[in-house]
Amino acid sequence: MAGIKTTITDNAFALAGFTSGSEGIWSRNEPQDPPTSDYLALSDSLGIALESIIRPYQAGGDNAVTVSADNGGSGVIRDSDLKKTDGLITAEKGLVLSIIAADCVPVYLISEKAKAVGLLHCGWMSAAGDLIHNGIEKLKVLGAVPSEIQVIIGPHICTGCYKVGAEVYTEYASVFSEKELERIFESRCGNLYLDLAKAIRSKLTSEGISNMNISESDECTCHNARYYSYRRGDRGKQNLAFIMIK
């Protein structure tokens, strides 16, 4: 499969992207293993040393952590000290935050006021949970104000591809209002389909982030065969989302 790399944002303050890499292998089998070839290629393309890239060990949960150069290389060239972590926040220039995803949603957070950025890994559980709240709270500690935070919802599985079971609806019904549920779910031919972007947008606006400051990618990881997709059958291979302050 030919790799693909999408620029999410590239301005004077921040650079963010989403890539399948050439192999889709971002995880090492053992802590002492060398970095994967895809991370080597990313390091080269960004002109950033591997020691300045961070990847947490994700768990589909609510934990968001503020990181610094002390965490550099975690999950890339050495064992990660960021375990069961699905959100990264930093105010340090030249530090690359990265998360892996194969249909889940990368959520990019940018606060020029606080001179800080964040990256969240939102699967269906995290989208309904407290990950978004926790990530924004970490940004606020650094000086961010919700009304000025820019959010980009990256490539992920689209509603038409994401059929879910009744247990997912039940979980969401305990969190979202009836009106929100009508927007978040679609029912077709007796099946339920989840719109992750709408769920995430509802969470973001409840945190005080303006709809005007939220943008969404229109790329579906399941439709686009140049991305890896768990729902389409890819196993052991993922896409990578990344962001850094220039």
Q: How far apart are CA 95 and CA 103, in angstroms?
A: 25
pLDDT value for 3: 63
User: Does residue 169 lie in a domain region?
Assistant: no
E-state strands within 2-95? 5-10, 14-19, 53-54, 64-66, 87-90
Relative to beta strand 96-101, strand 239-245 is antiparallel
Nearest-angstrom CA–CA distance, 90 and 138:
9
Q: In this structure, what CATH number is given to the domain that contains residue 81?
A: 3.60.140.10
The segments of the chain whose pLDDT lies below 70 read: 1-3
Answer whether residue 206 is part of any domain.
no
Residue 45 tokens, joined: 């393309």
- For the chain, the domain total comes to 1
State the pLDDT at residue 146: 97
Q: Is residue 134 part of a domain?
A: yes
- Phi and psi torsions of 98, nearest 5°: -145, 145
Whether 234 maps to a domain, the answer reads yes
Residue 204 lies in a domain: no
- Least Cα distance to 221 among 244, 196, 202 occurs for 196
Residues 6+ apart with CB under 8 A from 59: 83, 84, 85, 86
**In angstroms, rounded to a whole number, what is the distance separating the alpha carbons of residues 155 and 40?**
23
Whether 187 maps to a domain, the answer reads: no
* 202: in domain: no
Are the beta carbons of 221 and 10 closer than 8 angstroms? no
State which residues form the domain around 215.
5-158+211-245
Residue pair 23/237 in contact by the 8 Å Cβ criterion: yes
Beta bridge partners of 80: none
Answer yes or no: is 189 within a domain. no
